[in-house]
């Protein structure tokens, strides 16, 4: 520990773990004490109460995404990428037809990488790091290539924090009779999402983002006919959504050991989402977090990557100051010593850092992180906040 860190007064972290930093990251994120406490019990995976809990979660997720009786929810063990690979492998065509990935960041690129690895024909619209795709260009791509049968897009591209216009793009995809698939990993539970209004056939998310659960599983909401038709299509046994669904439907059980603690904590997280007022109230809190953070950082002269129309309330990308005294590792450690864990940037071209504005935290935490940022930058001797060109 450098000497200056020793002089930092001890910080106060989240309730119940005051000696640990707030996670200003888009998952795992800071959860409530009660969500963590719910995990303090050993449930048997075949236990009748546990099977009811799994049923409650599957139904609750369908309600949250505005499904009618034509949709199913399949839970998959593992982080979000496991459900992504499961959905791509179970639903995307292996020959003759192809999948269009609309990419504007690392998560779009990763979907392409998965499809290539499992030998599924794929083409991509590439908008770089931080540009939004337009409904018109997706429509044109579909009109130009009749062999595109599936479209994959990210709702909130966590690389930059940009929100893509899924409602409008979904309309173009559905009206042309193609399958619309959405990675809503970092948005579901806060940003509005409606499977029917948004013309979504397949949606993927996970336990540890806006629903504020702990990591351990992911899930796929899908129109039943698609699921019924996908038997035997997946490249993988463990990721096969059809087999996973059949297991859950037949006896309410997972085929392989489920993350019991994580599921129990998630049911508590779903209750707390409802108590807060559902996704609209959660969105409003995240929006207050993002506004409090960005207003203060802009007043200091720091420059966010996105303008207010493009950025979402999930994660904020800030361009690194060009001042030669700025060093990300030192900045990160200084904030960590003051009780905040932030995220490095993921842009390919511009040096940046990211601050998550989701999780069990509010504007007061944001005020404290701004004070910590000021303090650390002053200690580093950073005065010129303007970004490098
Ligand atoms: C978090 C996230 C994922 C999944 O990442 P995991 O590390 O596998 O949980 C996928 N897509 C987006 C947009 C994300 O934010």
Rounded to the nearest angstrom, the distance between the alpha carbon of 186 and the centre of ligand 1 is 7
Give the pLDDT confidence score for residue 6 in this predicted structure.
Answer: 52
Q: Whose CA is nearest to atom 12 of ligand 1?
A: 185
In the predicted structure, residue 378 carries a pLDDT above the cut 60: yes
Q: What is the mean pLDDT of residues 156-164?
A: 97
Q: What percent of the chain is modeled with pLDDT above 70?
A: 98
> Hey, what domains does the chain have and what are their CATH numbers?
5-30+278-380 (3.90.1150.10), 34-273 (3.40.640.10)
**CA gap 254, 13 in Å, rounded:** 36
User: Phi/psi of residue 321, each to 5°?
Assistant: -60, 145
Q: Is the CB of 81 under 6 A from ligand 1?
A: yes
**CA gap 267, 166 in Å, rounded:** 27
Give the pLDDT confidence score for residue 55 in this predicted structure.
Answer: 97
Give the pLDDT confidence score for residue 3 in this predicted structure.
Answer: 47
Question: Binning pLDDT at 50, 70 and 90, where does residue 156 land?
Answer: very high
In the predicted structure, residue 1 carries a pLDDT above the cut 80: no
Question: Binning pLDDT at 50, 70 and 90, where does residue 7 land?
Answer: low
Rounded to the nearest angstrom, the distance between the alpha carbon of 386 and the centre of ligand 1 is 30
In the predicted structure, residue 8 carries a pLDDT above the cut 70: no
Mean pLDDT of the chain: 96
Digit-coded pLDDT (tens) for 291-304: 999 999 999 999 99
Digit-coded pLDDT (tens) for 93-146: 999 999 999 999 999 999 999 999 999 999 999 999 989 999 999 999 999 999
Across the beta sheet with 71-77, the strand order is: 71-77, 217-223, 202-206, 179-183, 148-154, 98-103, 122-126
The answer to whether 63 touches 192, Cβ cutoff 8 Å, is no
Q: Is the CB of 92 under 6 A from ligand 1?
A: no
- 1/219: higher pLDDT: 219
**CA gap 366, 71 in Å, rounded:** 38
Rounded to the nearest angstrom, the distance between the alpha carbon of 301 and the centre of ligand 1 is 31
Which has the minimum average pLDDT: 75-79, 148-152, 318-322, 343-347? 343-347
Q: What is the mean pLDDT of residues 169-192?
A: 98
In the predicted structure, residue 169 carries a pLDDT above the cut 80: yes
Give the pLDDT confidence score for residue 164 in this predicted structure.
Answer: 98
Give the pLDDT confidence score for residue 65 in this predicted structure.
Answer: 98
In the predicted structure, residue 39 carries a pLDDT above the cut 50: yes
**CA gap 184, 209 in Å, rounded:** 10
Q: Is the CB of 183 under 6 A from ligand 1?
A: yes
Give the pLDDT confidence score for residue 27 in this predicted structure.
Answer: 87
Give the pLDDT confidence score for residue 43 in this predicted structure.
Answer: 97
Burial class (CB in 10 A: 0-12, 13-18, 19+), 116: exposed
Rounded to the nearest angstrom, the distance between the alpha carbon of 338 and the centre of ligand 1 is 27
**Which of 23, 29, 79 most suits a substitution to test ligand 1, by most atoms within 8 Å of the C-beta?**
79
Quickly count: other Cβ atoms within 10 Å of residue 75's Cβ.
22
Looking at the CA of residue 157, tell me the nearest atom of ligand 1. Answer: 13
**CA gap 48, 253 in Å, rounded:** 10
Give the pLDDT confidence score for residue 346 in this predicted structure.
Answer: 87
Digit-coded pLDDT (tens) for 56-107: 999 999 999 999 999 999 999 999 999 999 999 999 999 999 999 999 999 9
């Amino acid at each position: 520990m450098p000497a200056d860190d020793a002089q930092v007064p001890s910080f106060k972290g989240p309730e119940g773990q005051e000696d640990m930093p707030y996670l200003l990251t888009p998952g795992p994120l800071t959860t409530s004490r009660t969500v963590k406490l719910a995990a303090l019990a050993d449930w048997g995976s075949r236990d009748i109460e546990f099977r009811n809990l799994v049923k409650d979660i599957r139904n609750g997720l369908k309600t949250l995404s505005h499904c009618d009786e034509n949709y199913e929810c399949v839970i998959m063990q593992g982080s979000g990428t496991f459900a992504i690979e499961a959905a791509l492998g179970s639903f995307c065509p292996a020959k003759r037809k192809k999948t269009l990935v609309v990419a504007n960041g690392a998560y779009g690129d990763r979907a392409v990488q998965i499809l290539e690895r499992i030998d599924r024909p794929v083409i991509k619209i590439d908008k770089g790091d931080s540009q939004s795709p337009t409904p018109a260009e997706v429509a044109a791509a579909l009109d130009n290539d009749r062999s595109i049968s599936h479209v994959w897009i990210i709702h909130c591209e966590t690389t930059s924090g940009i929100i893509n216009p899924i409602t409008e793009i979904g309309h173009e995809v559905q009206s042309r009779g193609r399958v619309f698939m959405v990675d809503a990993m970092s948005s579901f539970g806060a940003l509005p999402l409606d499977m029917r209004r948004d013309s979504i056939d397949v949606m993927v998310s996970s336990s540890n983002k806006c629903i504020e659960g702990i990591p351990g599983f992911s899930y796929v909401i899908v129109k039943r006919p698609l699921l019924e038709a996908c038997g035997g299509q997946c490249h993988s046994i463990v990721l096969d959504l059809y087999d996973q669904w059949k297991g859950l439907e037949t006896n309410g059980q997972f085929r392989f050991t489920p993350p019991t603690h994580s599921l129990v904590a998630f049911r508590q997280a779903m209750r707390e989402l409802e108590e807060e007022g559902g996704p609209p109230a959660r969105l409003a809190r995240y929006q207050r977090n993002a506004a409090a953070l960005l207003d203060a950082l802009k007043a200091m002269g720091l420059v966010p990557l996105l303008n207010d129309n493009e950025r979402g309330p999930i994660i904020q990308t800030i361009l690194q100051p060009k001042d030669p005294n700025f060093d990300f590792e030192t900045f990160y450690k200084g904030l960590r010593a003051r009780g905040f864990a932030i995220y490095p940037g993921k842009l390919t071209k511009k040096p940046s850092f990211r601050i998550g504005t989701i999780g069990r935290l509010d504007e007061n935490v944001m005020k404290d992180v701004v004070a910590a940022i000021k303090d650390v930058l002053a200690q580093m001797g950073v005065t010129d906040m303007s970004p490098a060109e």
